[in-house]
Structure 1
Amino acid sequence: MNAASLLHLLQFASPALPIGGYSYSQGLEAAIEAGSVHDAASAHAWIERCLDEVQARWDGPLLWRLMQAYAARDMAAVADWSACYLASRDTAELRAETVQMGYSLTRLLADLGVADAGPLGDDVPLPAAYACAVCALGIPHEEALLAQLFAWAENQVLVCVKSVPLGQVAGQRLLLALRPELERAAATARGLPDEALSNWAPGLSMLSMRHEVQHGRLYRS
């Protein structure tokens, strides 16, 4: 990867990007409330399982396909995979999360003069907006996929640091320990055929539904 692509990737995969990623936990706050995640070991187990069952088998593969579709300028495929991703958000919070962040990133790309996400309407999911940025900026797809998985894991770790709570060093130790799982998830996401895609995670869906009525929440999902 050349320096320009790397710098673009660092910017658009950063949690500091002003699209609101820090305000969502994707059901993790409900898992902490329920006691399923309560220390560093259970946090590692939670993130590893979500990486394997959700990120590697659905979110990652759809992002991979969206990047390929944008690169081929196949807007019909972009629209189809975006619709699939939106349909897979099986709670109100998870759908609102990807639409809000996708809208914010789309607006940011337009304001910066980087790209137009295309004719997807108002409900642009985050993976589609991110894939648009990746292709417009010439970022290699493999690195972009791994960076997005890392950004997801980093946000999950930060939720644990704040809410379990874990110490800052424990959080960094956890993030470092997740490297093999992140590499494995990226490899799975790149190679999974269409017929093997799956977002079957009923436990996560139930926790997300509980979070919608949870009192004293810090996060929006």
Structure 2
Amino acid sequence: MDKQELALFQLCDSNFPTGAFSHSFGLETYIQEDKITNKETFAKWLKVYLSEQLLYTDGLACRLAYEALEKKDIDTVWELDRKLIVQILPRETREGTYRMGECMVDMVKSLYDAPLLSTYQQEIDKKNAFGHSAIVFAIIAHYLAVSKSTMILYYLYSSISSLVQNVVRGIPLGQTAGQQILRDFQPLLYDVVRGIENLSEDDFGAVAPGLEMAQMNHERLHIRIFMS
């Protein structure tokens, strides 16, 4: 791992202050319905979330945004920002996503003097963009000259790492079990990266209906510890 990759990996820390610890993205619904009760049932859910929702939305958007930046096609980056948000049907998930995105823009902008991040912040302030972590990741990876495949891998790892930490609190699950899941998912992460590299732009937005329904139902839960 070189210095640029290490700099990007800092953003993958589950303690990086984006607000991800407040969001379960429908996971809490499955926990309250007793569909996720242990390490095995969570791993089954996480596999679907990674290989369905993340692959066709955030992961593919990371790749497309990075490719647009290579072509200096900034308008496509802003269009991807809009598509990422408007294709999220569940209200809580949609609002939580762009809150995390705004927070990440602000935090990363304080760490790196990447001009496009400042432009992104201005577009958000003017309501011309929403703010999404996948777009921030692509911008800073391109700025640091980290390879596209490494960027996608790190983003996916960051996403599932946050969910593992949340399920440790939500079930609850032991920290050891959480780390075992992250270890076991390493081969799948590489498979999903390869899948993303072979997708077309037309594949963007395909999601699992069950995940969306759980995200919609979350706002009607009587007791919850997560915002989405």
- Fold shared by both chains (TM-score > 0.5): yes
Q: Deviations over 1:77-121 (max 9, x none)?
A: 111211111111111111112211111121123333422333533
The answer for the alignment partner of 1:211 in structure 2 is 218
8 Å Cα contact 1:8-1:139 kept in structure 2:
no
The answer for the alignment partner of 2:201 in structure 1 is 194
Q: How does 1:22-171 map to 2 (within 5 A)?
A: 22-115=21-114, 116-117=116-117, 118=119, 120-122=123-125, 123-171=130-178
User: Once the two structures are aligned, what percentage of the paired residues are identical?
Assistant: 25
Supply the distance in 1 between the matched residues of 2:181 and 2:112 (Cα, whole angstroms): 37
Shift of 1:207: 0.9
Q: Which amino acid aligns with 2:97?
A: T
The structure-2 alpha-carbon separation of the partners of 1:15 and 1:71, relative to structure 1 and needing over 3 Å to count, comes to farther
Give the 3-state SS of the residue equivalent to 1:100 in structure 2.
Answer: helix
Supply the distance in 1 between the matched residues of 2:113 and 2:32 (Cα, whole angstroms): 40
Q: Deviations over 1:172-217 (max 9, x none)?
A: 1111111121111111111101223342322111111111122221
Supply the distance in 2 between the matched residues of 1:109 and 1:82 (Cα, whole angstroms): 17
Q: TM (normalized to structure 1)?
A: 0.92
Shift of 1:39: 1.1
8 Å Cα contact 1:58-1:197 kept in structure 2:
yes
Supply the distance in 2 between the matched residues of 1:111 and 1:49 (Cα, whole angstroms): 34
Q: TM (normalized to structure 2)?
A: 0.89
Q: How does 1:176-195 map to 2 (within 5 A)?
A: 176-195=183-202
Q: Which amino acid aligns with 2:209?
A: P
Q: Which amino acid aligns with 1:62?
A: A
Structure 1 alignment gaps of length 5 or more: none
Give the 3-state SS of the residue equivalent to 2:31 in structure 1.
Answer: helix
Structure 1 segments, 4+ long, off by >4 Å, are none
Give the 3-state SS of the residue equivalent to 1:212 in structure 2.
Answer: helix
| Aligned residue-pair number | 220
Structure 2 alignment gaps of length 5 or more: none
8 Å Cα contact 1:24-1:220 kept in structure 2:
yes
The structure-2 alpha-carbon separation of the partners of 1:109 and 1:159, relative to structure 1 and needing over 3 Å to count, comes to closer
Supply the distance in 1 between the matched residues of 2:205 and 2:100 (Cα, whole angstroms): 23
8 Å Cα contact 2:14-2:165 kept in structure 1:
no
8 Å Cα contact 1:114-1:137 kept in structure 2:
no
Supply the distance in 2 between the matched residues of 1:188 and 1:65 (Cα, whole angstroms): 13
Aligned CA-pair RMSD: 1.6
